[in-house]
A and B are shown apart, each in its own frame.
Chain A
Amino acid sequence: MNKLSHEEIVHGLRQLPALPTVISEVLSSFGNDEADIGLICRQVARDQSLTARLLRVANSSFYGLQCRVATINEAVVVLGFRAVRSMLLTLSVSSAFGKQDCPGFEPRAYMRHCVGVGLAARAIAETTGRNPDLAFAGGVLHDMGQLALASIFRGAYAQALAYRREHDIPLLIAEQDILGTDHVLVGGLLADTWNFPASLRSAIAGHHTPSAATADSLADLVHVADAIAHGLGLAGDDYDLVMPVDFTAWQRLGLDQDKLARILPRVVDGLDEASQAFSA
């Protein structure tokens, strides 16, 4: 088939529905310590569907709260703005794509893998002194280029998925062979289209090439979290495989057997509940 041109991809991404208006405010708050949290809360409260989903996640055992929160303001007080912000972003992106019907693309397996990467990234962040809420969002969103490809280029992406199964190769390679592009590049372009902060963009666009990113980016963390999720087979996909773990990323994070022994149970034990909570 003909490879996808840059223009086709950019044009296709522009056809995707815009994120809710309030998410623009949420995104701009990443680089602004003086963001008006009260304004964001009031805007979210006007979106009943988003508020309901946010409260469902906030009250799930994922956050382990001792008491229920009934409003977004309470959620911010109890969980902190950073956690609520990450939650809003991941919930909005997952619902922006609507129902997937690309042959060979399994939305449930996709979500279980991404939430698993989010949990692993959060656990690694806590172990290595990074921001766990940002790491969780980066982990959940790291493969959003796959969602975009499956939504916009349904037929071509189905071919790439079939090619991957036929040749038992990493998805990234199958995408490049069939489409001439991959979910990393498309995810990066989508992050640009939606004005994502640089930290999250690096998690999405750099998770397969973390050594090219700076040491303080999320790319290292999400790269290793991705390997953990594939290594545990969280998606339940028979064709799942771990790509080689980048040496630089591994060294920078300084993980060892003791740290991994603390991280792995948190990923597996939290997966079912978190996947359910974050599913649309």
Chain B
Amino acid sequence: MKGVIRTEAALPGMCLSEAVVDDSGRVLVPEGAVLTESLIQSLLRRGVSELCVDQATEEDPAEREIRRARIVRSVAVYFRQAGDGVGSLALQEAILTFRMGRGE
């Protein structure tokens, strides 16, 4: 089942049913691409407000929250003694975003 959703509501694992194009018609992300956390963030930064997705591949929101919480806990364990310095916080954020994007 295909549908149009707001980009903010997109979830990693969803599959694009139509390519994302910019104002001049150039393809930014091809049809069939599977969304990742970083790709969604990148599209939001570019001002892409809506996406056409295959709803069948949508991850269950509850499962997504469980997965997200597991990754947050795992990263926090590795950073348990890293303190709150600017480098430690930035690195923790980057690793969290990276692992969310990979879904692992």
Give residues in A with beta carbon < 8 Å to B: 169-170, 224, 227-228, 230-233, 240-247, 249-250, 255-257, 260-261, 264-265, 268
A233 and B85 in contact, given A227-B91, A257-B90, A261-B98 (Cβ under 8 angstroms): no
Q: Is the beta-carbon distance between A240 and B94 smaller than 8 angstroms?
A: no
Q: Is the beta-carbon distance between B94 and A260 smaller than 8 angstroms?
A: yes
Q: Is the beta-carbon distance between A247 and B90 smaller than 8 angstroms?
A: no
Interface residues of B in 68-94 (CB under 8 A from A): 74-75, 77-83, 85-88, 90-94
Q: CB-nearest residue of chain B relative to A248?
A: B87
- Give the Cβ gap from A132 to chain B, nearest Cβ, in Å: 20
A246 and B82 in contact, given A257-B94, A264-B95 (Cβ under 8 angstroms): no
Residues on A with beta carbons closer than 8 Å to the beta carbon of B102 = 268
Q: CB-nearest residue of chain B relative to A257?
A: B94
Q: Is the beta-carbon distance between B87 and A264 smaller than 8 angstroms?
A: no
What 4 A-B pairs are tightest by C-beta distance, nearest first?
A245-B87, A250-B87, A260-B94, A244-B83
Q: Is the beta-carbon distance between B75 and A224 smaller than 8 angstroms?
A: no
A260 and B91 in contact, given A242-B79, A243-B81 (Cβ under 8 angstroms): yes
- Give the Cβ gap from A128 to chain B, nearest Cβ, in Å: 14
Q: Is the beta-carbon distance between B78 and A256 smaller than 8 angstroms?
A: no
- Cα of A230 to Cα of B97 in the assembled complex, Å: 16
Within 8 Å of chain A (Cβ to Cβ): is B38?
yes
- Give the Cβ gap from A60 to chain B, nearest Cβ, in Å: 23
What would be 30 A-B contacts, judged by CB atoms less than 8 Å apart? A169-B81, A227-B88, A228-B91, A231-B82, A231-B91, A232-B95, A242-B79, A242-B92, A243-B81, A243-B82, A244-B82, A244-B83, A244-B87, A244-B88, A245-B85, A245-B87, A245-B88, A250-B85, A250-B87, A257-B93, A257-B94, A260-B94, A260-B98, A261-B38, A261-B94, A261-B98, A264-B94, A264-B95, A264-B98, A268-B98
A242 and B78 in contact, given A257-B97, A261-B38 (Cβ under 8 angstroms): yes
Residues on A with beta carbons closer than 8 Å to the beta carbon of B80 = 241
Residues on A with beta carbons closer than 8 Å to the beta carbon of B91 = 224, 227-228, 231, 242, 245, 260
**Of the residues B75, B85, B97, contact of A231 by C-beta under 8 Å:** B75
- Cα of A244 to Cα of B91 in the assembled complex, Å: 11
Q: Is the beta-carbon distance between A261 and B97 smaller than 8 angstroms?
A: yes
- Give the Cβ gap from B25 to chain A, nearest Cβ, in Å: 26
Residue among B38, B75, B90, B94 with most chain A CB within 10 A: B94
Q: CB-nearest residue of chain A relative to B93?
A: A257
Q: Is the beta-carbon distance between B82 and A241 smaller than 8 angstroms?
A: yes
- Give the Cβ gap from A173 to chain B, nearest Cβ, in Å: 10
Residue among A170, A228, A250 with most chain B CB within 10 A: A250
Residue among A227, A231, A261 with most chain B CB within 10 A: A231
Q: CB-nearest residue of chain A relative to B94?
A: A260
Q: Is the beta-carbon distance between B94 and A249 smaller than 8 angstroms?
A: no
